[in-house]
Chain A
């Protein structure tokens, strides 16, 4: 018998009962209850007041009056990497429960751990207790924004968790896929903690999929600790049906000389609000937050990469590119914060939007908040349409308009995708984009002929 939990009506009793049913240690239960108490002091976001929610109208796009889904009968769907030459690591979260984890023996032999987070709270207590919630609101000393109830409720009530540990100096090329799949209506609260020790490398892939038309809210929190000189490649693919609401905080802490690349590919979902956040806490750390997105009729994507330069001599380079068609809305709200002590910071932040048809809206604000003078920083943002000259050039070589448009749209994204280093991700992203372009009414694509007048 599983105690039911309601996202908008959590109680101490229900959370305590649930934690007990899950066989969780007391310290974890207490963490959950502490988070719950904090959530009582918080309200759901108010888009008129909360700075970070201004870009998405919470009451119109997100509904929290939902029961929390804690497992069901559906099976894991499979995904990227199933056809790879070497088997990949897979952890399946289906309808709010971790259903299975597969770790190829070659990977396990290296000492790599991929397991149920609730179990790891006992078996790997030291690591889990030290890091779980250290990047969100549940730890008062954490660097999290601390006030967003959508994150606090995950701290309190997450139901399906994955713990990843890559020991020091272990280099795992085999990607670790966490597949989050929703078939049941309700709130899904997945949680992931990954600790990559010093001089280790890891590749993490988050695949988000759902059944058609499912009315689900997925409220996800991922924490990644990249210790000294660790190399971490992360890819997250939002491939939901266009009914799903998805809130995700994917937060990375980068220590000395750690190098992190994060690529988000957002194609599906009714509303997706993605927060790829990076705390650069060690000198020499570097992060490359990348994003591609393609919004279609009715979709609303809110992308908020946030980089905090806390240590000196770290670097960050943010690049997000999105295409839009139909009545869709995208928001890019990039934030770069440079602490007064972060001398020698180098940072750049760019967003490009390609508006394909009338009715689509792209808002873009790359913010810089700089407390330190001794740095180099740049930022840029541009929104445009397909360039008539590009189209003419391709057509003049015999390529018809539709094919030329496809090439140009793929080209727009290639700059970002070509950087990805996890096998299969670029292909999957391009396939998703291709499907979008295929379904598009290319006849209605608007072309910018301003360039035609510039005849020199």
Chain B
């Protein structure tokens, strides 16, 4: 049994079914890429794994480390090691970034990390990700540029040390240098205890973070799977052949 096992997942939002039976396996220590055209349901899947309240799972299961998690609250899932770097990170006005990170780290570790130890760790992770110290004074995502938000998502992953990291278009909005820094950040986290699901439209991030497998989503279903070469093929030819791919499943 895979560490993350998604079976026949049907998801609705606002009364419309968006995922029509998704199956997916992901083991810790491996990296999966999920690609697919706009609106195909990639983020819906990511949010469903994290427990976003707008998405109702009407059928199927999400099993993580042998335990069904689809009924758990988002924070319970996070404490089980699930992390979602969001495509559109949320601005939370006034909530101090430092305070937020410390509360999150304490919640996930289920212990009180002493302030000084925490600040030392935070500063070191920030400098590795090229996040300026002045951000310590800021509010969560408030007024951050697109790229800053993405960096901040990875900074959170670095602090929370998840076992499953879903990166939903973390590469979009990043310039080449930033992409490299962020990808290096993800690679530092990688190891036998981390499974990564990278959602992207482009192969450029996959050149830094090598996927073991690539899945293609189309209209709420996974319609093709293959090795890393599938990503190159998609980037070159687009999703025009998707119907053929669909037929070949």
Contacts and interface: CB of A to CB of B under 8 A. Distances in A.
B95 A407 contact: yes
Contacts of A397: 75, 78, 83, 100, 104, 107-108, 156, 160
Given A397-B156, A401-B75, A411 B54 contact: no
A110 interface: no
Interface stretch (B63-71, B85-93, B124-132, B214-222): B85-93
Nearest to A447: B53
Interface residues of A, number: 28
Given A389-B90, A390-B90, A408 B95 contact: yes
B227 to A, nearest CB: 31
A412 B94 contact: yes
A392 interface: yes
Contact of A396 (B14, B84, B93): B84
Nearest to B108: A398
| Prevailing SS type, chain A contact patch | helix
Interface size class of B (residues with CB under 8 A): 20 to 34
Contact of B139 (A388, A393, A400, A414): A414
Contacts of B74: 392, 395-396
Interface in A358-388: 388
Contacts of B100: 394, 397, 399, 407
A453 B54 contact: yes
B54 A452 contact: yes
Contact of B95 (A389, A411, A452): A411
B54 A400 contact: no
Contact of B90 (A393, A399, A449): A393
A455 B90 CA distance: 12
Contact of A398 (B52, B78, B86, B93): B78
A395 B95 CA distance: 13
B213 to A, nearest CB: 25
Interface in B98-113: 99-100, 103-104, 107-108
A337 B66 CA distance: 66
Contacts of B13: 455
Given A395-B74, A397-B160, A398-B78, A411 B90 contact: no
A100 interface: no
Contacts of A434: none
Contact of A388 (B53, B88, B94, B107): B53
A403 B103 contact: yes
A452 B47 CA distance: 12
B93 A415 contact: yes
Contacts of B52: 392, 396, 452
B50 interface: yes
Interface in A289-346: none
A53 interface: no
A58 interface: no
A429 to B, nearest CB: 14
B83 to A, nearest CB: 8
Contacts of B93: 411-412, 415
B95 A392 contact: no
A449 B94 contact: no
Contacts of B156: 397
Interface string A399-423: 1110110011011111100000000
Contact of B75 (A389, A398, A449): A398
Contact of A395 (B78, B94, B99, B139): B78
Nearest to B100: A407
A401 B53 contact: no
A74 B45 CA distance: 65
B75 A396 contact: yes
Nearest to B82: A396
B96 interface: yes
A322 to B, nearest CB: 14
Contacts of B75: 395-401, 404
A273 to B, nearest CB: 27
Given A401-B73, A403-B103, A393 B94 contact: no
Contacts of B88: 456
A354 to B, nearest CB: 11
Contacts of A449: 53-54
Interface in B1-52: 13-14, 50-52
Contacts of A389: 90
B78 A407 contact: no
A389 B91 CA distance: 9
B152 to A, nearest CB: 11
Interface string B190-233: 00000000000000000000000000000000000000000000
Nearest to B103: A399
Contacts of B180: none
Nearest to A416: B94
Interface in A156-211: none
A130 B53 CA distance: 63
B96 A414 contact: yes
Contacts of B96: 411, 414
A194 to B, nearest CB: 32
Contact of A392 (B14, B53, B83, B160): B53
A389 B54 CA distance: 9
Interface of B: 13-14, 50-54, 73-75, 77-79, 83-84, 86, 88-90, 92-96, 99-100, 103-104, 107-108, 139-140, 156, 160
The 10 closest A-B pairs by CB, nearest first: A411-B94, A411-B95, A398-B78, A393-B90, A452-B54, A397-B104, A398-B108, A395-B74, A398-B107, A414-B94
Given A393-B89, A412-B94, A414-B139, 12 more contacts: A392-B53, A394-B104, A395-B51, A396-B74, A397-B75, A397-B104, A403-B103, A407-B95, A411-B92, A413-B94, A414-B95, A449-B53
16 contacts: A389-B90, A392-B53, A393-B140, A395-B78, A396-B52, A396-B74, A399-B75, A399-B107, A411-B95, A411-B96, A411-B139, A413-B94, A414-B95, A414-B96, A453-B14, A456-B88
